[in-house]
A and B are shown apart, each in its own frame.
Chain A
């Protein structure tokens, strides 16, 4: 009896192993090694062949900055030698958009006073560089070894032409693409309070700082200090004739609140939303609605809000438009306040629902597990039970799933989760902690989201989620790579409709392109 059980067990193990192997055989694997593996990596179709290429910035002290492009071949492999695009000293940022008639996307180059396009199909800048817009970018000094990116360039007024939102000296410039491949200025959206200095003077929030350092004067020094701003702190300076090494040459900060595009009214036109500080030093949420002629320069709706905690937009009630939530934590206790979008505005003083969670590093995700299903709220957190910690030196990771109540107008999500998955990690399996489990991806392309996670061996695996939101005990998919996986992303890299993957390791990145 024991022998037959052992035999079945071995068979099961073997079949599981075969599944794993067969999963791996369905991908073309490409290992990308570069000087800084954690620098930005983009996937765009630059030559118009329907396959996304790999693009990343590269710096060499002699040559300077370049963009390197590894073109994807039809078999899912990537060119071993990259196409190298010179980035001139004056360039501060870049993005990618299809502006010209040639197939594929062009590189959009941002300098301190203008925006240009450059095709990768033509060598060099001569006869290639096209001036698009005159614009004073908020950043004026190029980085010698870095390039910064506009990551989301899109057609937000649905006219078929790519539009641009550019951060500038006095606010964001909204430029609408036109049929000639050019751009028409639409509006300037100033996200910084017009009385910024007044708001700054009114901001009296104290901060606590702790530092530990080692130096030749103090040896090991621990500093605990409280920063108590006053309205005119550092306002008066006594000029002293310069000593040879007393000061930095330049210190300057030029920042403004981010401006986000989000569907806020249900008219299929994305609106603009930002969070800033008003004259009284309080947080303020501002919305500019998009209409047929674009945007107004003054906010259409604004209201003050508490800015403590994490503030984010998400579709919380599954109506396709963005809602607003605030997650306030005090170490082990979290308080999530959901504010449902009512015709493009929010009642910020009255949350639609308040939920409480316990655990460290709580994170919220609103996910649709199937295209036609209701939303679920997925909450990740960590707990450190003292007894377990003493006995096993272990911590616990918890996944909670709360389904949306579609018919309950009072309560969006139940107080108790329908699913609770607890995993214990210690020194023997800590590699699994490198990334939280994600329910956002469909790894096998069957239309259902899977629970994707890094295993205790540092490999990537996926478990199924059934119709009652239970996560299976065993993985149905695993990709075994020689290096530990730290980050993962599932995305389409070609037009075959099958999910592809990018796995980040310590010093390299694996790109898995699904193959027939």
Chain B
């Protein structure tokens, strides 16, 4: 009996701690109504008061809601930039003011860059930063991350997108730029101007990747790496030169030539008893440090042939490879990872077993398996060992193609059916400052319900081969698709699933009817705790909500 009261006492004490912690959470309610044409809210410091403001983005321009010491006044404390041009890319940067204050930048029609500063709650007239550029921009108002410090000299440079290329304007002073250098990029552009299908769409989708910027030759300056389908170009920076990059690359790998060497895929010459033999036409170019001198070397895989070229401070020694390894079988991929913990990256070479046309026909109706093997060639300092020191085998077991297709369809249908009008919005946030465990926010019954420290935070770095549960002591692994699929449960939102049987630590009455609402935690005010955007309703004119600012 004494034991019972003792346990009860501990339980009561624990629940009291939770209540006390929840009671410590206090929010200031600020109602807002913003135009329905608002596409996004960006939280950033815009004026000089070191408080985060809210930039609302519409199809016509930007509106900045300025934060005051006591929060926001959404009806009065804002100013706007209305762009009159058809193509504007906007960005934020602290590099164009002497005091490090953020400016709103606009790349107008791909040709002119302007900067807008805010003083108090007023946005000033724009200042021309650079004109006469020759870029291409999508129509409308888009976020374009065109202002960056590329060479690491503390000055913001301009990266202007073109047709399959980027023009880099390296700053020599705060607003003076060198003549541009052009770097090829692998733009992903999907364009469709016409279709004869009722269900298809017409338009353009654009993804312009930023070139890779890092120190390739260990001289302390950022270099440029540009990868396209035709070439891998590396521009090594000379930091002593006001124009740190030469117009042509310091060295290149001609991918077109590699592909010509490997040959063209021709189904008439395909070996139908080994369809995976087509992997002999694939190639990879890994630019990484192999010998530990912090200068990137080149590991070039062409089919089953792996060549190592030595990187130098001024470029790459292409005269002859430092090593050539040849692997039989169907090589799927290679990567570098330090397997033995000696600080040097080892070569992992992945092979897949032959798959025939007959196998595929059989797998249509019957379950099957494919073995994927990883051969590890230890790094011996200057070269990789000529023979692998270890082999991992991953046996991928799968049900018949029919079963697989049916299972996916069932899961997709379950997912669709589980998402109803009555779905309860739930999000993860950090409301109490305890970063090891995440808090759950749920919007239901016209309340924001808070469940503190409910889910353990995911580590930022996932363990190596974590999905296989990799261990240095084990060489045989299995991925069982049938089990993976049967383990998928699509009954409810997985975040809500964690708390739906628990009592909330704190329920905040919104005192308004919530229709098709949503809840979004975000750091808005100066404390390190998430504030909460609660969207209570929306229609074709307005978005209504309440901002809960942590106090």
B150, A140: Cβ atoms closer than 8 Å = no
Tell whether A250 is near chain B: CB-to-CB under 8 Å: yes
- Which of B145, B204, B267, B358 is within 8 Å of A247, CB to CB? B145
Is A505 at the interface (CB under 8 A from chain B)? yes
The interface residues of chain B lying within 8 Å CB-to-CB of A241 are 94
**B540–A256 CB distance below 8 A:** no
Complex: A254 Cα to B362 Cα, angstroms: 43
Contact partners of B415 in chain A: CB under 8 A: 206-208, 226-228
A264 to chain B, nearest CB (A): 13
A198 and B256 contacting across the interface, CB-CB below 8 Å: no
Interface string of B401-431 (1 = CB under 8 A from A): 0100110110111111011110101000000
For the A-B complex, the count of residue pairs with Cβ-Cβ distances under 8 Å equals 332
Fill in one digit per residue for B70-92: 1 if any A CB lies within 8 Å of its CB, else 0.
00000000000000001101001
Q: List 11 A-B contacts (CB under 8 A).
A: A144-B163, A197-B36, A198-B540, A216-B336, A230-B423, A237-B40, A239-B42, A251-B143, A384-B364, A393-B364, A506-B267
Known pairs A145-B164, A151-B196 / 8 extra A-B pairs, C-beta < 8 Å: A141-B204, A206-B418, A224-B485, A229-B419, A231-B538, A249-B146, A254-B139, A484-B268
> Smallest Cβ distance from A509 to chain B, in angstroms?
13
CB 8 Å contact bits of A89-111 with B (1 = contact, 0 = none): 10011000000000000000010
Interface residues of A: mostly helix, strand, loop or mixed?
loop
Partner among A138, A210, A229 whose Cβ is within 8 Å of the Cβ of B139:
A138
Residues on the A chain within 8 Å of B194, using CB: 149-152, 167, 258
A152 to chain B, nearest CB (A): 7
Partner of A169, one of B139, B148, B187, B374: B139
Interface members, chain A 321-357 (any B CB < 8 Å): 330-332
Contact of A255 with B202 in the complex, beta carbons under 8 Å = yes
CB–CB A506/B191 < 8 A: no
| A236 and B54 alpha carbons, distance in the complex (Å) | 9
A250 to B91, CA, bound (A): 11
Instruction: Kindly state whether residue A81 has any CB partner on chain B within 8 Å.
Output: no
CB distance from B478 to the nearest CB of A (A): 11
Establish whether residues B136 and A140, one from each chain, have CB atoms under 8 Å apart when the complex forms.
yes
B268–A506 touching, CB < 8 Å:
yes
Bound Cα distance A149, B191 (Å): 10
**Does chain A have a CB within 8 A of B3?**
no
Q: Which residue from B212, B357, B540 sits with its C-beta under 8 Å from A245?
A: B212
> When each residue 109-150 of chain B gets 1 if its CB lies under 8 Å from chain A and 0 otherwise, what string results?
000000000000000000000000000111110111111111
**One of B10-18, B238-246, B310-318, B517-525 contacting the partner:** B517-525
- Total number of B residues with any Cβ neighbor in A under 8 Å: 131
Q: Do A138 and B203 touch (CB < 8 A)?
A: yes
Stretch at the interface among A10-18, A307-315, A444-452, A495-503: A307-315
List the one stretch of B23-31, B444-452, B458-466 in contact with chain A.
B458-466
A248 on the B face (CB < 8 A): yes
In the complex, whether B161 has a CB less than 8 A from a CB of chain A is yes
Chain B CB within 10 Å — which of A169, A232, A506 has the most?
A232
Task: Pick the interface stretch among A50-58, A273-281, A372-380, A472-480.
Answer: A273-281
Inter-chain contact A224/B411, CB cutoff 8 Å: yes
B189 with A141: CB separation less than 8 A:
yes
Closest to A241 in B: B94
Chain B residues near A408: list those with CB within 8 A.
Answer: none
Residues of chain A within 8 A of B202, CB atoms compared: 138, 167, 255-259
B151 → chain A closest CB, angstroms: 10
A221 vs B394: C-alpha distance when bound (angstroms): 11
State whether A224 touches B484 (Cβ < 8 A).
yes
Q: How far is the CB of A29 from chain B (nearest CB, A)?
A: 17
Report the Cα distance A248→B148, complex, angstroms.
Answer: 12
Cβ contact within 8 Å between A260 and B490: no
- Decide if B177 is an interface residue (CB 8 Å cutoff): no
In the complex, A507 has a CB within 8 A of chain B: yes
Interface string of B443-485 (1 = CB under 8 A from A): 0000000000000000000101111101000000001010011
Measured in the bound complex, the distance between the Cα atoms of B409 and A272 in whole Å is 34
Q: Is A252 touching B394 in the complex (CB atoms < 8 A)?
A: no
For A508, give the chain B residue with the smallest CB separation: B266
Q: Residues 102-145 of chain A: 1 if any B CB is under 8 Å from the residue's CB, otherwise 0?
A: 00000000101000000000000000000000001111111111
Check: A179 CB closer than 8 A to any chain B CB: no
Q: Which residues of A contact B479 (CB under 8 A)?
A: 220, 222
B164 and A238: CB pair below 8 A?
Answer: no
Q: How many residues of A contact B (CB 8 A)?
A: 106
Select from chain A the residue with minimum beta-carbon distance to B335: A216
List B residues at the A interface (Cβ < 8 Å).
36-44, 55, 86-87, 89, 92, 94, 136-140, 142-150, 152, 159, 161, 163-166, 187, 189, 191-210, 212-214, 222, 230, 256, 264-268, 272, 332-333, 335-337, 348, 350, 356-358, 361-362, 364-366, 372, 374, 394, 396, 402, 405-406, 408-409, 411-416, 418-421, 423, 425, 462, 464-468, 470, 479, 481, 484-485, 488, 490, 493, 516-518, 520, 522-523, 533, 535, 538-540
**CB atoms of A110 and B470 under 8 A apart:** no
Closest chain B CB from A398 CB (angstroms): 15
Contact residues of A between 196 and 247, Cβ < 8 Å to B = 197-198, 201-202, 204-208, 210, 214-222, 224, 226-239, 241-242, 244-245, 247
Flag if A236 contacts B145 (CB, 8 Å). Answer: no
Chain A positions within 8 Å of B152 at CB level: 244
| A-B residue pairs, 10 tightest by C-beta | A144-B164, A389-B365, A255-B203, A239-B44, A206-B419, A216-B335, A139-B204, A393-B361, A208-B412, A219-B465
- Knowing A239-B44, A484-B267, say if A427 contacts B361 (CB, 8 Å): yes
**Docked pose: A259 CA to B199 CA in angstroms:** 10
The residue of chain A having its C-beta at the shortest distance from the C-beta of B490 within the complex is: A226
Bound-state CA distance A501–B347 (Å) is 51
Q: Scoring A residues 384 to 396 as 1 if CB is less than 8 Å from chain B, else 0, what string do you get?
A: 1010011001110
Contact residues in B for A234 (Cβ distance below 8 Å): 40
A195-B540, A244-B148, A386-B365 as given contacts; A275 in contact with B199, CB under 8 Å: yes
Of chain B, the residue at the smallest CB distance from A168 is B139
- Please state if B518 and A231 are interface contacts (CB–CB under 8 Å): yes
Residue contact B419 to A222, C-beta cutoff 8 Å: no
Contact with B522, one of A146, A202, A238, A251 (Cβ below 8 angstroms)? A238
B493 touches A228 (CB 8 A): yes
Please tell me if A253 contacts chain B, counting CB pairs below 8 Å: yes
B164 near A167 with CB under 8 A, answer no
- CB of B125 to closest CB in A, whole Å: 23
Cβ of A515 under 8 Å from chain B: no
User: In the complex, A150 Cα to B193 Cα: how many Å?
Assistant: 6
The answer to whether A253 and B366 touch across the interface, beta carbons within 8 angstroms, is no
Q: Which chain B residues border A249 with CB–CB below 8 Å?
A: 144-146, 159, 161, 166, 208-210
Q: In the assembly, what is the distance between CA of A205 and CA of B419, in Å? A: 7
Q: How far is the CA of A44 from the CA of B161 in the complex (A)?
A: 35
For A231, the closest partner residue in chain B by CB is: B518
Known: A141-B204, A506-B265. Is A198-B199 also a contact (CB below 8 A)?
A: no
State whether B198 touches A312 (Cβ < 8 A). yes
CB neighbours of B464 from chain A (8 A):
217, 219
- Given A226-B490, A232-B518, A249-B161, A507 and B264 contact (CB-CB distance below 8 Å): yes
Roughly how many angstroms separate A167 CA and B466 CA in the complex, as a whole number?
A: 47
**How far, in angstroms, from A344 to B342 measured CA to CA in the complex?**
75
Q: Is A430 interfacial (CB-CB < 8 Å)?
A: yes
Q: A482 to chain B: closest CB distance in Å?
A: 8
Q: Pick the residue among B36, B42, B408 that contacts A210 (CB under 8 A).
A: B408
Q: A217 contacts which chain B residues (CB < 8 A)?
A: 462, 464-465
CB distance from B106 to the nearest CB of A (A): 14
Smallest CB separation, A284 vs chain B (Å): 12
Nearest-CB distance from B483 to chain A (Å)?
11
Pairwise interchain contact A395-B364, C-beta atoms closer than 8 A? yes
A419 at the B interface (CB under 8 A): no
**Bound-complex Cα distance A253 to B201 (A):** 11
Chain A residues contacting B462 (CB-CB under 8 Å) are 217-218
- A47 contacts partner chain B, Cβ-Cβ < 8 Å: no
Q: Which chain B residues lie closer than 8 Å to A427 at the CB level? A: 272, 356-358, 361
Determine the residue in chain A with the shortest Cβ distance to B192: A148
| Contact, CB under 8 Å: B138 / A250 | yes
